[in-house]
Structure 1
Amino acid sequence: MSKELNFDKSPDGLLPAVIQDAQTGKVLMLGYMNREAYDKTAAEGVVTFFSRSKQRLWTKGETSSNFLRVEQMLVDCDGDTLLIKARPDGPTCHTGADTCFEEVNTGKGQFLNYLQHIIRDRKANPSDKSYTASLFAKGVNKIAQKVGEEAVELVIEAKDDNADLFKGEAADLLFHYLVLLEQKGFDLDDIIAVLQKRHAK
């Protein structure tokens, strides 16, 4: 983390920790951490809070097995709040709801942003073992050709009833489309902006 947490800013040594689903972006819950809970979370990769009601360390999921597995930990600009991006093993709320705010935790669109960064890294740091890097090495014509081939294969599968094959071809098309965007120097947000502009008309 680029900034250190300052537990001394709180009289009881507890700082708020906002838990966000790393894939969907949904806020799952809010808990509190002291230095010990933070260190345990950082070391084990599973979110542990300091429970104000139990007055002890409490690992989320210790009784339900619905653990929160850490993907990233960020500190706010004042050093007194933590944002943890995590992968939930199941419902987060003790009521059985997906989140403690009664929201349904769906929509994994943020993974496309993550995938886009991976593709960008493959272009900037090519490896002989990387399929993505090999596409960039062949240039825009080959990448565009792959997008066309995958689009045709998706259309063919759309005429049948094999859901797994259809989804596989759809994933192939989406991946190669992201590679083409990167090759052309565009971000997925650039395309979304066009859609938003059309929607606003």
Structure 2
Amino acid sequence: MSKFIIGLTGGIGSGKTTVSDMFANLDIDIIDADIAARIVVMPGSKALIAIEAYFGSDFITEMGELNRTKLRSQIFSNLDDKAWLNNLLHPLIREEILTQISKSTSSYCVLVAPLLIENGLQKLVNRVLVINIDEAHQVARTAARDPSSVAEIKRIIASQMSSEQRLSFADDIINNQDLSLDNIRQQVTKLDQKYRTLLLNNER
């Protein structure tokens, strides 16, 4: 694939949306794996029909949409269910991501994926950008925006790749420990300049 792609990842509550919004403000196209995951389970989709048949109608809302909170709780407590769901959705999500990348018109694009490395999506990107944050900040940030309990948030963190493992794949790192938006924006601006320079060098 000729498109220059940055893979943006980090644990739950690390600030991926904040960072990707800043790249978007620099006119960079954002491809979000979570949005791709929502697209493939839209009402009436084959994937949603399969999920209802497997898990039951309790996992579908009155509006005919996937009850993502209920499903997330289910798969984090049942590895067999998680494996079944992954086998169903991962190929569909990957296909949707590739479609969106092919439509990108910015100088480079950013693929935002919480499980970029765990799901092998780093193979699609040229560089891996990891947002680094400690667990205490992850829990506090997630609890402030999400109805999940602290115990469930900690289970999600435990199920994800550790910070040390994730950082071992990083080509670039954004430090989000102090939660200063100005500081993060400065880091994003420097990285944007770096990526544009890399692109210029590759085109020569």
TM (norm. structure 1) is 0.26
Structure whose CA Rg is larger: 1
Higher helix share: 2
Relative to the length of structure 2, the TM-score reads: 0.26
Greater strand share, structure number: 1
Structure with bigger RCO (C-alpha 8 Å, 6+ apart): 2
